Structure 1
Amino acid sequence: MSSFWQNAFVVVYFFYGLAFYSMGLALLVESGRASELGFARSLRLLAGFGLLHGIHEWLDMLEQGMGVCYQIPLPVCMCWFRLALLVASFIALIAFGEHLLAREQGRNMPTWRLTLTAVVWFALSSVAVQVIYRLEEDQWINVMDVLARYNIGIPGSALAFWALWRQRETFRQQGMGQFGRHLTIAASALALYGIVGQFITRPSFIFPANILNTNVFLQVTGFPIQLFRAVMATILAIEMIRVLRALEVENEVRLQTAEQARYEADRLRHAELAKLNQELQLANEETARLLEEVRHSDHLRGELIQNITAAQEAERQRIARELHDETGQSLTGLALGLRGLSAQVQANPDAVKERLPILEAMATAGLSQLRMLINDLRPPQLDDLGLAAGLRWLTERFNEQNRTKADLTIKGEVHPLAPEIETTLFRIAQEGLNNIAKHARASHATIVLDYDDGPSLTVRDDGVGYDPPVIFNNRKPRTAWGLMGMQERANLINATLILDSHPGVGTHLQVRLAPDEET
């Protein structure tokens, strides 16, 4: 090596380290900016590479200066520290490339597989060399320096180059294509520095350093590889610092956008306030309407309760009247007949025998009348056999008492329901048939009990029909108490009452239970 380059190495290493350190410091400061670019979030790793690698080159400068000026070698501990800086800087470089590619692909964090693979391969190869060759400490440090450049530096530079190269498209999409040229130069300088510059290492028995190394490069080209690295590092630092201008432009665009958005918000605020005022007025009107509906519903509920109370009193009067007029008279006649027989049982036994069948018939008639009254109140089939049997009895009795013919259809597997549900469905069906008999003028009615649909109960007819809104919203004396009562009964068992009727097409009434209410 010529004396010129021996003396110039100190200057080369100084600017070599200064370029990387300046780049790392600038990237570290700018990486704290708020940015939507994934590139900005990866800059800390590239900044770490620049800072660590710059210090590493300054240690090379220190070693060269001590050797030239004082002929003193760099202490071994400093050599280990320098090697650690080199390895750490290359790890930061390959991590930067992997992180930036992951961000470019839409992932928040990379898997770090490439970084870990490179580090593990470097560690294994370093240990293997020492195990195989049993090197002295300074020789092993020299070999690990070479392996670090081969196993981590070159792959890291290639990965970082590819990540920066692909980042150009992201810049174009963000409307900052003017920075693409600087990014292209920076990526190219990094590729030349890492792939070419790190391929030329210090002499070693490791292939290909035993053939192509710094001494051979100096002999062939006339200048050291460190000068080439320093030039590439300077270009990389300058162009990356220029690329950082993109973050400032992004912030300026963001501020302009925010300012425009504020002006637009001020412009829209008055229109929005006017719209909100109009909506508030509509809401007030809707609230007033709902309050009126609530008052109307409360009034209807009060009327319904009064109607139910009156119906209960009328039913009690009917029961008392029937007990007095029919059952009571039968029992009175039976008592008088028995009293007369008691006087004749000794004197005229033949006459007693003749009158006993008459008294038996009177007792049987009274019992039948009492049974009919009990059935009117609650059919025993409902308690003993369930809802299906109760509806079957109700249908048969309806057919006996009315010209309108009704039929019953049972769907699904019959199974018992909760007593209050069976009673409610029975009463709704009973009220539906009563309405058909009183108002529908129908020729046919159908009751469908579907255990697979909730279950559900359907009552429909082919009568004259009606208009439900007119019936329910009529504020004159009510004629739809039966329908309102069915609605209240359905609400008590958490069921849905569906009423569909039109004048001239009949009425379709359905009660559907929620599946969890079945039991």
Structure 2
Amino acid sequence: MMRNILQSNVLGLYFLYGLSFYTMGLAIAMQYRSYSTFRLAYSLSLLAAFGVLHGLSEWGSIFVPIQVPDLGQESVWKMLALQRLLQASSYFFLFSFGMKLAGDTRGRGGGWWMAVPVGALVVWLAFYARFIPLIGSPGLMEWLQLSEVWSRYLLALPGGISAGLALAMQARELRVIGKGALLGSLWGAVAAFAFYAVFSGLIVSPAPFFPASVLNTSLVQSVTGLPVELFRTLVGFVVTFCITRMLAIFDLERQKRLDESHRQQAVLLERQRFSRDLHDGVLQSIYGVGISMQTCNRLLDTDPEEARRRLDSSLQRLNGAIQSIRNYINGLQPAACGHDLAGMVRKVLEEFQQDYGLPVDFYFDQVYRDQVQEQEFEFPPVELVTILKEALHNVARHAHATAVRVTLSTEGKNLLLSVKDNGIGFTIQQPDTWLYPRKPGHHGLRNMRARAASLGGTVLIKTMRGEGTEVRVILPRLQEARSTKQEAGLDAGIGAANSNQ
């Protein structure tokens, strides 16, 4: 009974057979793979062309209306001839896919791989073209059937074999992905193309020459009791299933590239952080120690005690710089300095005055005294202190200033640090306006801006020639004060009596 059902639904098998290959062709065509380094990516367009054309040609076996006399017999013959041409073209692309992929895998570039499938297609076209003078004669249908047999022998059979062998050669490259399911799909596709070569290339309609006179569709029908179209349909489903699953290698490759890109980005960011910390921390400390040592050299004769005190301080700062370098070698962040931002700023200002001899006024407003100093910062305070060090360093080296004023204050939900000098300033395109520091070649300004940005803040500069410069650092507001300390009414003033130095 099953045999009768299959026999009566051969057109349905043609439809499913064509649908499977057409789906495969569309899936391959829609897969974006121009970035891929896999050799398979450069040949898949030929396999996509095979799938689409082969699906259309098989559907032609359904839609060519042989039984409709209104079209005229000659029109039906021409449509059948077109269907045979479409079918042979699909086999040609399959053959070309296998030859190109094999050539790319073996490292033999160039267009030599096209010579064999093109030669086979030319031979078949020469045979096929003989149907033209046969139009209208009784021998036309027989000739069209023979042309299909030769297209399978010349193109489909070697196409299936070459495609299977070429895919088998990709096993080593796919092992790099490390997915066993992909390798399973690869070998499934290899086996499926081998069966395709047999059922679609070797087993043909009966013809009056060997091997078509022996190994043909009638033999399969008599031995198995099933139409050969059923086997071709099953093979088509397996080919489509395995090939579409193999397309996952491009998604995995893209994900691997993204992961590598993220890793490289993380390395780059770490290098930038390392560069900023060295420039703004260690190098500035060493530079300050060098200035202090020069001062010690001048004080040796006039004030030996002060020179000794400065020398001891410089040695301590050198030891701190050495410890920072050790931390970097061990992959550690610079040591945290607690949450006493005002105290940290005072210490930096003391060292600055000692190194450069510039008077510095330090001021923090009443809001900071009453609310801010007892809160936990949303950023490491040492980062803000590092920006302050760089700003003071720029004043000492470039401003030619005689006084500096440092201010800690609040503005809405932001914390502000201002460093203002009375130096020479510099010229900008829009005087007396705030701007972002972007001057090329100056690592200090660039590092300040990058460090503030990493904390969710920004750095602005206001300057004019002859009127000094102000650097303003704006960082996110602090967290709310701890409720327990608010209830206790603790006085959080940080050295209010010493707010100016």
Alignment TM-score, normalising by the size of structure 2 = 0.50
More helix by share: 1
Alignment TM-score, normalising by the size of structure 1 = 0.48
Higher relative contact order (CA 8 A, sep 6+): 2
Rg larger for: 1
